[in-house]
Chains A and B, each alone.
Chain A
C-alpha cells in the first residue's frame, strides 16, 4: 500500500510540474497550423460574423401578431407618411414651437429638413421591397433621427417643446416598424410585431441608464450645492417638493440648518427610492455589480435568456445537419468534436451582437474625440489619428496569427474532448489489455497540447493589448508634451468660436483646457486599445463560427428531391437494378447487384464477412446513395422518395445493438412513440423478450445504463428486434440480430417473425418484405429466397432446395461446411 501511495505522490509531482512556469510549450507539427494557412481577412471575418444573422433575426424582428384579419391580407405601413406629415405640421402649432431668435431660423429649417427626411424614409420603406434600399433608408433614418433628436431639436427650439415634437415624430416612424395596416375583402386589419426581445432588451438598458443619469444629476446637485454648501435648491426640485420659495434665484442667501437637514432627509429618501425604482430594470437587464459573484455567471437574466434562444437555434441546426450527413462523413468524424462544436463553437454566436455594437460605439467615441481635439489644435487631431498607425501595424501582424492559433486551440480542445469520450467508450478494452498507462499518457499529452495552444493564443491577446497600449501611449506622449508646453506658454486654442459653441470656454490653454484635452486624448487611446482587443477576440468568435458553418455548409449527399413523394406501404416489389457502390473507386463494395424481392416474402442474404450484405441494406435505407444503378420500390426510384419517409417505414434490427440510456419501454418506443400497449406487447412476444423483462427490477420501466450496457448482448438483440417490429412497417431488415442468442431462442424468435411477416397471427394482411442477413443455416432454411453475395456480386439466388441442387455451388459449400461442423458436434450425442 505504501508503495502505491509513494507512486501516487511521485505521479502527482510529475503531473504538477508538466507545464513550464512561463514558457511556451510544444504543440506538435501535426496539430499546428502555420500562419500561412490563414485564409481569413477582414471581409471573411465580417462575413462570418454576419452569417449569424438568421439566428439573431428572430430575436430582433420578433413575429407578427395579426388582429381581426386573415393572414392573406397584405399589410403595409403606407399610412405612416400621412401620419407623420400631420404630426410635423400640426405639432408645430399645437406645441407652440418657435425658434429662439438668437439662434436664427437656420436651425428651424434644419429641423423641418430632418422631419422631411424622416417622412421620406418612411415612404421609401413602405414602397420599396428592395433590401438594399431598405438598408440605405434605415441607415439614413438612424443618422437623421439621432442628429435631429439630439442636436437640432434641443438647439433650435428652447425648452422641451422642440425635443418633444421630434421625439414624437421619431416614435411615429418606429411605429411603422411595429404596426402595419392591411385591407382585405372583409375590412381593415392590423398586425403588431411582438417578441422583439433584443429591442426590448436594449430599450431596458437605455431606460435604466436614463434613470441612473437623471437621478445622479439631481442627487449630486442636491448634495453638493444645497446640503453641503447651503445654497438654494434647483428650481424644478423646489417645485416638486412644494416649496418654490426655496428655489435658486427666488430665495436669497443660504438655507438654514433646519432646511438643510430637511433636504438631507429628502436626499436619503430619494437615494433609496430611486434605487427601488430602478430595481426592476436592473433585475432584468443587469445582474448588478454583484452578479459576478456567482461561478462565471456574470450577465443579465434577460440577456442570457435571449442569447440562449439564439444559441439553441444554432445548436439544433447543427444537430439536424449532422443527422442528415451520411455515414461516409461520420466514419471520419469524432464524437468529442460534435460535443465541442455544439457547446463551444456554437456559443460564439451569442457574442456577435455585443461585440459589433461595442466596437461601433467605441470607434464612434474615438472619432468624436479626434474631432473635438482638432478644434483645440489641428496637431492634436493629427496625434489622435496617428495612434492608429502603430495599432494597425500590430493588428496587421496579429490578426492572421490570432485566427490560426484560435483554430488550433479550438481543435486541440476538441481533440481532448474526443480523447475523453473515446477512452470512456472503450474503457473495457483498455482495462482488459492493460492499456491504462498508455491511455493516461495520451490524455496528458492532449491536455498539455491544449494548454499550450491556449497559452499561445491568450498570450498573443495579452501581448497585442500591451503593445497597442505602448504604441498609443508613445504617440500620446507627443500630444501630452505639446499641450503641457502650450499650457505653460498660455497659447490660444485653435477654433475658439466653435469650442465656445459646444459650451466650453477654453480660449486660452489653461489648466482646465490641459486637463480636458488630456482626458480626451487618453480616452481616444483607450478606445483604440479596447476596439483592438474586441476585434482581436472577434477573430476567435469568427473561427468558432467558421467551425459551425463548415458543418452547416456541408451538403448532405442524401437529400430529398424537390418533388419527392412519401413512401408508406409496399404495394408490390422491391428491385435492385445493377446497384454499384464504393468508398474508393478501386475497391467496389457492391459491384452490380440485381435482385427483386416480392411483397410477402422473406429473403435471406448470406455470404462471407465483408461481402457487402450490410451495405446493400444500408442503400435500401438510403444511408448512402448508390454510385451506379438504382433501387426501386414499387417501380419508383428510391431517390424520388422522401428520405425520412423511407427510414420511418423500414424497420431495422442491427448487427450492433444500439440502445439508449432510457427505460426499456422508451427504447422500444424510440421511433414509434405512438405505439399502443397492445402493439408493444405483441412486439415483445415476437422478440421472445417476456422472460427477461420479467426479471428486470422494474420491468419495462427499468432505466438502462449508457447504451443499455447493463443487460446482456442477447437481451439487447431481442430488444432491438422488438424496437424494429413495433413500428409495424411493410419492409423489415434484420441484420444478424440473433447471433448472440442460443439456437433454441433464435429459432423461436425466427418462427415468430416468419409468422408475423406472412401476416401471421394478427392476419392484417400487410404486404411485408423481410430481409435477413445471417450466417446460420437454421435461419436460412425457412426463407423464400436466398441470395449468396460475395465480393459485392450476387453469385447465386433461389430457394434453399434450388441452391442446394447446384453441384459445387457456393451456397451448397457454405451449408456443407456448417453442417459438417454440426455433424461433428452432434455425433457423439447420437451414439
Chain B
C-alpha cells in the first residue's frame, strides 16, 4: 500500500487510461511471468478443493492402466482360450487373491465372476476394459462459437474426469465447482475493484470494455492456473513413471530414452519464437472483442437516439465492421495456433521418423526383435503426452497472458479508497475551498485559484456561463475529482484525508443527467436510503413534484422501470432523481441543474422546500435560472474556471461593473429582447 500513500501533485495521473498500454505495448518476459504468477497465487484460496481434485485425478488417470486390463485378460486367457488358471503368469501381485479364488472353477463359472466384476467396475468407474470404447470419460462441454467471447463459456465451467461411473461423476462435480469458485472469485474481485476506481478513470473507460473484462477476460486466469499447476504436476508424474518403465524394460537403449526426453526441450525451444506473436494476437483479438461489445452496448442503450436520428443502418454497419474485425482478429489467433501446431507437429514427425529409423536399424541388425518395435513405439508415444504438456507450457501461457493482463491491468489501477482513512464526523460547519485548482491529465486547466466558504444552513448557488467549470467544482466536494492544487475542506478536514465512505455518506449529489436503475420507482427513490418508510418516499416525491404522475401510473410506486424506459418522460425521471437525492437526508446536498426539466410552479415549490431543508443542511445548487439563483444565500460566480465574485444576489448586483451583474444583465436582456 505504500505506493498509494505517496502524495504528489500529479496524483491525477491515476486517471491515465490503460487502454493504449494494453493494445500497443509489448509484454516483456518478466511481465508475463509476473501476471501469471500473480494468477497462480490465487489458488491459495482453493487449496483444499484443488488438492482433492489432484488426488482424484491421479487415481482416475491410473484406473484404466491398473484395474481394467486384468478382468479382460482373465476372460480371454481362461475362458475363450480355456487355459488353466493355475500357474498363470503376467498378473500383478494384487490380482493373486482373485486368481486363487478362481482357480479350479470351470470357464463358465469364471465368466460369471468376471461379468459380475465388470458390472461393479462399470457402476463405479464406468469402464470394463482398457479399450477406448469400453470405458467412459466424464465431461460436459457445450457447443461454442468462433470468437473468444463465445469460447469462454466452456472454460468458465470446465470440468473433466478420466473415468465415468459414480467416481467420475463425483470428480467431475468437484472439478466444476473448483473452476466455478475460482471464476466467481476473480469476477467478483474485478467487479468490486472497477467500482472503486475514481470517477475520472471510470469516465475514460468504455462500459462495453468493462463488461468484456468481467465476463470474458477473467476465465483466462483460472484456465492458466489449471494448465500450469495441474497439468504440469500431472505431466511430471506421468513422465517419471513412463521413464522408469522405459528404462527398466530397455536398459540397453539409453539413446531412445534420451530421444524421448529430447521432445521436451525441442518443443520448448521451437515454440518460444512464436510466443510474442501468439500473445499479440491474443491481445488484439480481445481488444477487438471489447470494441464490438462497446458498440453493441452503446447502440442498444441509446436505441432512442439511434432510431430518432434514423441511424439504424449506420449502427448496423458500425457493428458489422467491428464484429467482422473481431472475427478477423480471432482468426489471427487461430492462424498462429495452426502455424505453431504444424511447425511443432512437423518437428515431432521428424523425431518420430528418427526413432523409427533407429529402432528399425537395430532390428535389421538383429539386436532387437520385431516384437520390441511395437512396445518401444508405444512407450515413446506414451511419453509424448507429458513431454508435450511441459514443452508447450510457455506458449500456452502466452495465449492466456493476454486475458490475464487485461484483468490485472484494471486490478492494478489504484482505487480511490486508498487515499485516506480519517472518519469524517457528522458535518456541522460546512465546506471551504482554499485556492483550489484542477488541471486535467492532458494539460487542460479546468479550475484555478478558487476560494470560498459554504456553511451548513445555507443555499449556495454556483453560477456562471456554460463551460465555466461549475460541475467540476461541485465534484470536488464528494471527491469524484481530486483537486491538483489547493485544498477542499469539509469541517476543516481535507477531503483527501477522510475515508470516502464517511465523506460520501454525508454528501448527496443529484446529477444533471438522470440514471435510474431497472427497479421499481419506490426502490429507485430509496436507492440511497434503503430503509426509508414509504411515507417518507411519498413526502420527498411530493417535494420533487413527482408524486402526482407516479400516483397516476397503474402500478403507482411499484411501477418497474427499465434502464431505457420510455414509460415516463425525461422530466419525470429527473424528478424521481431529485426525490432520490432528498430522501437520503445527508448534511450536504448538491443539485446539479435540478430544475431544467421542471416547470416554473414545481420549481417554486422545490426551492421553498430546499430553504426549509437548508436549516440543518448545506445545499449547493448549480443553476441557470435566475429565479433559483436569486433565492440562494450565497452565490459563487465562475467564469472560465476562475472564481470571480461571491455574495448574495443583492450584494453582487450592487457591484457596479461586477461580473455577475453583467452576466445577469446579459441573461435578462436575452430574454427581454426576445
Main SS of the interface on chain A?
helix
B79: interface (CB < 8 Å): yes
Question: B304 contacts A656, CB within 8 Å?
Answer: yes
- Number of A-B pairs whose CB atoms are under 8 Å? 655
A706: interface (CB < 8 Å): yes
Chain B nearest CB from A19 CB (Å) reads 4
What are the 9 closest A-B residue pairs judged by CB atoms, nearest first?
A: A347-B145, A647-B310, A821-B627, A609-B571, A351-B143, A290-B341, A295-B399, A433-B528, A747-B670
A795: interface (CB < 8 Å): no
Chain B nearest CB from A156 CB (Å) reads 34
B337: interface (CB < 8 Å): yes
Assembly CA distance A477 to B131 (angstroms):
15
Question: A308 contacts B199, CB within 8 Å?
Answer: no
Could you mark each residue 458-490 of chain A with 1 if its beta carbon is under 8 Å from any beta carbon of chain B, else 0? 110111011001100110010011001101100
B564: interface (CB < 8 Å): yes
Residue numbers in A under 8 Å from B181 (CB-CB): 16-19
Question: B596 contacts A267, CB within 8 Å?
Answer: no
**Which one of B84-92, B149-157, B427-435, B452-460 contacts A?**
B149-157
Assembly CA distance A287 to B344 (angstroms):
12
Assembly CA distance A267 to B330 (angstroms):
39
Residue numbers in B under 8 Å from A519 (CB-CB): 131, 133
Q: In the complex, which of the residues B189, B333, B402, B444 contacts A695, with contact meaning CB atoms closer than 8 Å?
A: B444
B263: interface (CB < 8 Å): no
Q: In the complex, which of the residues A295, A332, A655 contacts B333, with contact meaning CB atoms closer than 8 Å?
A: A295
Residue numbers in B under 8 Å from A644 (CB-CB): 310, 312-313
A760: interface (CB < 8 Å): no
Residue numbers in A under 8 Å from B301 (CB-CB): 335, 421, 425, 707
Residue numbers in B under 8 Å from A779 (CB-CB): 674
A663: interface (CB < 8 Å): no
Question: B79 contacts A484, CB within 8 Å?
Answer: yes
Could you mark each residue 136-167 of chain B with 1 if its beta carbon is under 8 Å from any beta carbon of chain A, else 0? 10111111111111111111110100001100
Assembly CA distance A826 to B668 (angstroms):
8
B517: interface (CB < 8 Å): yes
Could you mark each residue 600-627 of chain A with 1 if its beta carbon is under 8 Å from any beta carbon of chain B, else 0? 0000000011100111001001010000
Assembly CA distance A655 to B478 (angstroms):
27
Chain B nearest CB from A304 CB (Å) reads 5
Chain A nearest CB from B397 CB (Å) reads 10
**Which one of B96-104, B118-126, B482-490 contacts A?**
B118-126
B250: interface (CB < 8 Å): no
Assembly CA distance A650 to B341 (angstroms):
56
Chain A nearest CB from B446 CB (Å) reads 10
Tell me the B306-334 residues at the A interface (CB within 8 Å): 306-316, 319-320, 323-324, 327, 330-331, 333-334
A59: interface (CB < 8 Å): no
Assembly CA distance A273 to B421 (angstroms):
71
Residue numbers in B under 8 Å from A691 (CB-CB): 467
With A742-B466, A825-B630 known as contacts, the answer to whether A440 contacts B508 (CB < 8 A) is: no
Chain A nearest CB from B111 CB (Å) reads 5
Question: A459 contacts B140, CB within 8 Å?
Answer: yes
Residue numbers in B under 8 Å from A312 (CB-CB): 320, 323-324, 327
Residue numbers in A under 8 Å from B323 (CB-CB): 312, 315-316
Assembly CA distance A503 to B81 (angstroms):
24
Q: In the complex, which of the residues B211, B346, B444 contacts A339, with contact meaning CB atoms closer than 8 Å?
A: B211
A252: interface (CB < 8 Å): no
Return the chain B residue nearest A658 by Cβ: B305
A250: interface (CB < 8 Å): no
Residue numbers in B under 8 Å from A579 (CB-CB): none
Q: In the complex, which of the residues B170, B464, B562, B593 contacts A331, with contact meaning CB atoms closer than 8 Å?
A: B562
Assembly CA distance A129 to B202 (angstroms):
61
Assembly CA distance A455 to B175 (angstroms):
11
B357: interface (CB < 8 Å): yes
B229: interface (CB < 8 Å): no
**Which one of B21-29, B232-240, B253-261, B599-607 contacts A?**
B599-607
Question: A817 contacts B344, CB within 8 Å?
Answer: no
Return the chain B residue nearest A413 by Cβ: B153
Chain B nearest CB from A699 CB (Å) reads 13
Residue numbers in A under 8 Å from B132 (CB-CB): 526
Residue numbers in A under 8 Å from B572 (CB-CB): 609-610
Q: In the complex, which of the residues A287, A514, A529 contacts B338, with contact meaning CB atoms closer than 8 Å?
A: A287
Residue numbers in B under 8 Å from A781 (CB-CB): 674
Q: In the complex, which of the residues A4, A18, A275, A417 contacts B349, with contact meaning CB atoms closer than 8 Å?
A: A275
B661: interface (CB < 8 Å): yes
A741: interface (CB < 8 Å): yes
Residue numbers in A under 8 Å from B341 (CB-CB): 287-291, 293
Assembly CA distance A224 to B373 (angstroms):
10
Number of interface residues of B (CB under 8 A): 232
Question: B207 contacts A350, CB within 8 Å?
Answer: no
26 contacts between A and B (CB under 8 A): A4-B421, A13-B45, A20-B177, A21-B49, A21-B52, A272-B350, A288-B338, A288-B341, A293-B340, A322-B300, A327-B303, A331-B562, A338-B297, A426-B517, A429-B517, A432-B478, A433-B528, A436-B196, A451-B180, A462-B173, A480-B118, A511-B81, A540-B142, A587-B552, A650-B310, A658-B302
Return the chain A residue nearest B151 by Cβ: A296
Assembly CA distance A578 to B146 (angstroms):
52
Assembly CA distance A712 to B312 (angstroms):
26
Return the chain A residue nearest B560 by Cβ: A332
Question: A743 contacts B185, CB within 8 Å?
Answer: no
Question: B149 contacts A511, CB within 8 Å?
Answer: no
Q: In the complex, which of the residues B145, B302, B346, B630 contacts A707, with contact meaning CB atoms closer than 8 Å?
A: B302
Question: A477 contacts B115, CB within 8 Å?
Answer: yes
Chain A nearest CB from B209 CB (Å) reads 8
Return the chain B residue nearest A754 by Cβ: B674
Question: B309 contacts A268, CB within 8 Å?
Answer: no
Chain B nearest CB from A528 CB (Å) reads 11
With A347-B146, A426-B517, A705-B204 known as contacts, the answer to whether A436 contacts B195 (CB < 8 A) is: yes
Assembly CA distance A348 to B142 (angstroms):
10
Residue numbers in A under 8 Å from B373 (CB-CB): 228
Chain B nearest CB from A802 CB (Å) reads 17
Chain B nearest CB from A700 CB (Å) reads 16
Return the chain A residue nearest B357 by Cβ: A268
Assembly CA distance A3 to B421 (angstroms):
10
B246: interface (CB < 8 Å): no
Question: A712 contacts B169, CB within 8 Å?
Answer: no
Return the chain B residue nearest A611 by Cβ: B569
Could you mark each residue 162-201 of chain B with 1 if its beta carbon is under 8 Å from any beta carbon of chain A, else 0? 0011001110111011001101110111011011100100
Assembly CA distance A428 to B289 (angstroms):
25
Assembly CA distance A431 to B159 (angstroms):
38
Assembly CA distance A447 to B79 (angstroms):
56
Question: A223 contacts B304, CB within 8 Å?
Answer: no
Assembly CA distance A739 to B465 (angstroms):
13
Could you mark each residue 659-671 of chain A with 1 if its beta carbon is under 8 Å from any beta carbon of chain B, else 0? 0110000000011
Q: In the complex, which of the residues A21, A458, A541 contacts B157, with contact meaning CB atoms closer than 8 Å?
A: A458
Residue numbers in B under 8 Å from A304 (CB-CB): 146, 330-331, 334
Could you mark each residue 776-795 of chain A with 1 if its beta carbon is under 8 Å from any beta carbon of chain B, else 0? 01110110000000000000
A28: interface (CB < 8 Å): no
A193: interface (CB < 8 Å): no
Assembly CA distance A741 to B625 (angstroms):
10
Other A-B pairs beyond A432-B480, A466-B126, A821-B600, 10, CB < 8 Å: A16-B181, A343-B149, A433-B508, A461-B140, A466-B169, A477-B128, A610-B571, A707-B298, A714-B467, A825-B630
